Structure 1
Amino acid sequence: MPPFPTPGVQDARAALAGRLRELRLDAGITGKELARRCHWSVAKSSRIENAHTAPSDKDIEAWCTACGAGDQAADLVAANRQADSMYVQWRRLQRTGMKRLQEASTPLYERTRLFRVYASHVIPGYLQTPGYATALMSTIASFRGTPDDVTEAVEARLRRSRVVHEGDHRFATLIEENVLHHRIGDDDVMASQLGSLLASMTLPSISLGIIPAGAAREAVMWPLEQFTVFDDVRVHVELLAAKVAVTAPGELDIYLRAFARLTRLAVYGGEARVLMTKAIDALG
């Protein structure tokens, strides 16, 4: 691990260290006593608790056991791994462009049977047309200053998207209505993308719901960051600076519950087609 991780990783490390410190305080023991129970030095306890040293899985398990909180070890181990994943994703994006990111996730797409996808900003990758994907990735590459491998990245994304048509995969997809009106590329690109989205509703692997812009959200959910749930075991959350992998059981449950609530806001079938047709008509 390089000495200067991204701010997102620093925040994740600090949050984990804070949770470990709370466990120690709740147990009513000192750092010295914790070190004695874990059979390591007081300095090591201090470095972990102050986020100066990233703990190993065994360190976290020992810490939780010493504090009488063994039931929390799994969540904290997952959070620790999540910080590592966040950094790797950022580094790849910065240094090698986008093609490798598409290819790296292909095995995950191939082995996943149930995708739950919430799109609040752009059309999900597996439903993107070549023109839309090219316009989107060109904008991302320009903004982030990544190597210009857009053509190769689009080709890799299209290859990855074959899972929509092949194998036993199901895609429960929710798209905010505003996404239909976000201009990615020119009018022809958007018209083609929206037409393709309409056609995707006939695919047996796709369940497509549109969340109307005017949906009442008081008791359900406001628009969230874009995310994908893979078989209830992993969530990818798309932030401006990084793609974050969530694997902690407690955090996974939050996203599953959020998706269930968002599902109740969506319209399907004819009502969804009306919203997509309006978006096409608005292109002029």
Structure 2
Amino acid sequence: MTTDYQQARIALGARLHELRTEASLTVRELAERCGWPFSKVSKLENARQTATKKDLETWAAGVGRPDVAVELVGKLDGMESTYRSWRRQLAGGHRVVQDALGAQHEKTRVFQAFSGTIVPGIFQTAEYARSALARYADLHGVTRDIEAGVASRIRRQAGLYSAEKTYRVLIWEAALYVRICSADVLRAQLDRLVSVNGLGTVELGVIPLNADVRLAAGDDFWIYDGKLVITETWHTEMWLDGPDDVALYSKIWDALAEGAVYGHAAHRVLMRSRAALDLA
């Protein structure tokens, strides 16, 4: 769990504790009013469990302050709009997740991205995207709707041919070797990367394994028009629009870009990975 998310959960727990003590209720007394085990009250107050909207409405009624339900739910919504767990997002299907990214993509003109683990979605073939989504879907136990998710992801690639958009994408060389798909699918994917490297809208930087770098590879991320960062971990996707967060990720991108090669040099790295695959 991210530190910022936990801090937000701690702040919400402190507010719940405040409301309970103001109502002169013990943990057990509030639990009885809410129809919960007393341990749940303790977990919510001490940030060991994330409240649902219904939990917060029940808490507000339990302490005799139904008027604060809107405030509490607002705090939860703020947390959830920034930190979007994969399990919660995928409950609505892969298309919903991909369409949300597509909506942000539509209104963005300049993209900066770094991927150290996988070929970025904007460059993926349908077969590679299908394999990637299927593997992560299996991890989270949500395997329906994959084809709709693939179709939505591929639709975003129309932007690659729009003169109004610019893609400045960094890929760590290791991502070119990750066998998240069959050898044939990866071979076609590498060929696809070679072709997009020549597009006028794309500035593709590849960071060789032996490059001198200022920073080691970390989480994959995208910066949208210098105003929003979307990054992800195993359990959550984060949408960060705070100026300090955006500035930090921009600084990280600049540092990583210093170790990248472009143009013909990037082409040589791509062909090296392609040749290694053929020899495997």
TM-score, normalised with respect to structure 1? 0.72
Partner of 2:262: 268
User: Is the 8 Å Cα contact of residues 227 and 235 (structure 1) preserved in structure 2?
Assistant: yes
Deviation (angstroms), 1:183: 1.0
2:155 to 159, 173, 193: 159
Partner of 2:97: 101
Deviation (angstroms), 1:250: 0.9
Q: For structure 2, which runs of at least 5 residues remain unmatched after alignment?
A: 24-44, 52-74
Residue 141 to residue 189, structure 1, CA distance change in 2 (3 Å): same
Could you list the per-position Cα deviations for residues 112-140 of structure 1 after superposition, in whole angstroms to 9, with x for gaps in the alignment?
01100000111111100011101111111
Residue 82 to residue 278, structure 1, CA distance change in 2 (3 Å): farther
Q: For structure 1, which runs of at least 5 residues remain unmatched after alignment?
A: 1-5, 21-34, 55-78
Q: How does 1:232-271 map to 2 (within 5 A)?
A: 232-271=226-265
Q: Secondary structure at the match of 1:116?
A: strand
In 1: Cα distance, 2:251 partner to 2:83 partner: 26
TM-score, normalised with respect to structure 2? 0.73
Which 4+ stretches in 1 moved above 3 angstroms? 6-10, 14-18, 40-44, 49-54, 79-82, 86-92
Partner of 1:181: 177
Residue 86 to residue 126, structure 1, CA distance change in 2 (3 Å): same
Partner of 2:138: 142
Deviation (angstroms), 1:224: 1.1
Residue 13 to residue 207, structure 1, CA distance change in 2 (3 Å): same
Aligned CA RMSD, in angstroms, stands at 3.2
Could you list the per-position Cα deviations for residues 12-34 of structure 1 after superposition, in whole angstroms to 9, with x for gaps in the alignment?
4147679x9xxxxxxxxxxxxxx
Partner of 2:224: 230
More deviation, 263-272/87-96: 87-96
Q: How does 1:50-199 map to 2 (within 5 A)?
A: 83-90=79-86, 92-199=88-195
What percentage of aligned pairs have identical amino acids? 27
In 2: Cα distance, 1:8 partner to 1:97 partner: 27
Could you list the per-position Cα deviations for residues 134-172 of structure 1 after superposition, in whole angstroms to 9, with x for gaps in the alignment?
111111111110142111110111112211113501000
In 1: Cα distance, 2:212 partner to 2:81 partner: 35
Corresponding letter in the other structure for 2:145 = D
Deviation (angstroms), 1:233: 0.8
Q: Secondary structure at the match of 1:265?
A: coil
Partner of 1:278: 272
